[in-house]
């Protein structure tokens, strides 16, 4: 006995849950990853192969956890809100025995037959006692009829009371089960939302790793290019580096230009030598 057992309760949840449950029979199929095709020739930069903003392949949109979460949340909200002002009385009709009247009538007939049999016996006894038609017979028959009528009313009341209680209990339990299901649906929606978030985190993390790898390649290429463009400057620095590492031999030349005293001294020295 599902939501359909209580027509007053089924429609809003049925409509809201349909996207989640109704079309989700097929198993979710993950997008098939395309094998990396080696590029025979990289396109030119001036003919850029633009990275298209393609929508990710989703083979089963109904398996989207966020769609599931939203549908479940809306269904749970709707059902819970409906249940706030709802009583079990609205759903009792579905649980009442449609043959209750026939059953009660059959029980009444049984009581009536018993009453008839009892009256016949009472009249037979009165006849044998010679009291049939007397005042005592009348009183006895009236008391017997009163008892049978009371029994019939008690029987009918008990049967209808039992039917009412059964329908009330069933409707109450059904209402409680549906509200419980709504709560469970909300929990499942939250779970689906968590799945989606986890998958997104994985995608971001792994995508980030790939992007870091690409960035590393780019940085390496830039470094090589920087080395290439810096090569002329390195050529200029190489002789300077060589000179800086090797000791430069230096030659110091001392020369003297003689002055007047030098000539006088030289002449005096020469004169003394001659003397």
Residues at the contact surface with other proteins, assessed by CB under 8 A = 39, 41-46, 48-56, 64, 66-67, 69-70, 73, 193, 196, 199-200, 203-204, 206-208, 210-212, 214-215, 217-218, 221-222, 225-226, 229, 232-233, 235-236, 239-240, 243, 248-262
- The DSSP 8-state label assigned to residue 228 in this structure reads H
When the beta carbons of 56 and 130 are compared against other proteins, the nearer one is 56
When the beta carbons of 109 and 237 are compared against other proteins, the nearer one is 237
∠ CA 180-176-100, rounded to 5°? 145
Closest separation between CB of residue 82 and other proteins, Å?
20
13 near 75, Cβ under 8 Å? yes
* Among 67, 76, 150, 69, CA closest to 108: 150
When the beta carbons of 136 and 222 are compared against other proteins, the nearer one is 222
Q: Among all chains, which residue has been given the structure tokens 């079309």?
A: 23
CA dihedral 50, 54, 57, 63 (to 10 degrees): 150
When the beta carbons of 130 and 244 are compared against other proteins, the nearer one is 244
| Cβ neighbours, 10 Å, residue 231 | 9
When the beta carbons of 1 and 221 are compared against other proteins, the nearer one is 221
When the beta carbons of 87 and 224 are compared against other proteins, the nearer one is 224
Closest separation between CB of residue 257 and other proteins, Å?
4
| Cβ neighbours, 10 Å, residue 13 | 21
For residues 190 and 91, what is the distance between their CA atoms, to the nearest angstrom?
30
Tokens of 115: 């009453």
Query: What does the buried/exposed string (b/e) look like for 90-108 if buried means 16 or more CB atoms within 10 Å of the residue's CB?
Result: ebbebbbeeeeeeebeebb
DSSP-derived 3-state class of residue 200: helix
Tokens of 9: 């309760």
When the beta carbons of 151 and 190 are compared against other proteins, the nearer one is 190
For residues 5 and 171, what is the distance between their CA atoms, to the nearest angstrom?
9
């Amino acid at each position: 006995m599902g939501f359909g057992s209580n027509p007053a309760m089924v429609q809003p949840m049925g409509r809201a849950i349909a996207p989640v449950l109704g079309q989700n029979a097929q198993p979710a199929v993950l997008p098939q990853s395309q094998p990396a095709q080696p590029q025979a020739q990289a396109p030119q930069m001036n003919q850029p192969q633009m990275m298209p903003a393609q929508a990710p392949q989703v083979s089963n949109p109904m398996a989207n956890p966020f769609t599931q979460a939203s549908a479940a949340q809306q269904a749970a909200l709707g059902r819970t809100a409906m249940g706030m002002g709802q009583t079990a009385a609205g759903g009792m009709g579905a649980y009442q025995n449609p043959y209750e009247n026939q059953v009660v009538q059959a029980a009444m007939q049984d009581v009536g037959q018993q009453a008839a049999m009892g009256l016949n016996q009472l009249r037979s006894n009165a006849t044998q006692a010679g009291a049939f038609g007397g005042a005592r017979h009348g009183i006895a028959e009236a008391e017997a009829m009163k008892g049978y009528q009371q029994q019939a009313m008690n029987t009918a009341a008990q049967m209808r009371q039992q039917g009412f209680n059964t329908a009330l209990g069933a409707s109450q339990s059904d209402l409680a089960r549906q509200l419980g299901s709504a709560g469970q649906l909300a929990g499942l929606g939250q779970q689906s939302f968590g799945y989606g978030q986890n998958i997104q985190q994985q995608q971001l993390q792994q995508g980030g790793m790939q992007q870091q790898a690409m960035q590393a390649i780019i940085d390496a290429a830039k470094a090589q290019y920087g080395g290439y463009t810096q090569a002329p400057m390195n050529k200029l620095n190489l002789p300077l580096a060589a000179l800086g590492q090797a000791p430069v031999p230096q030659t110091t030349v001392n020369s003297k230009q003689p002055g007047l005293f030098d000539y006088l001294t030289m002449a005096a020295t020469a004169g003394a030598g001659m003397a």
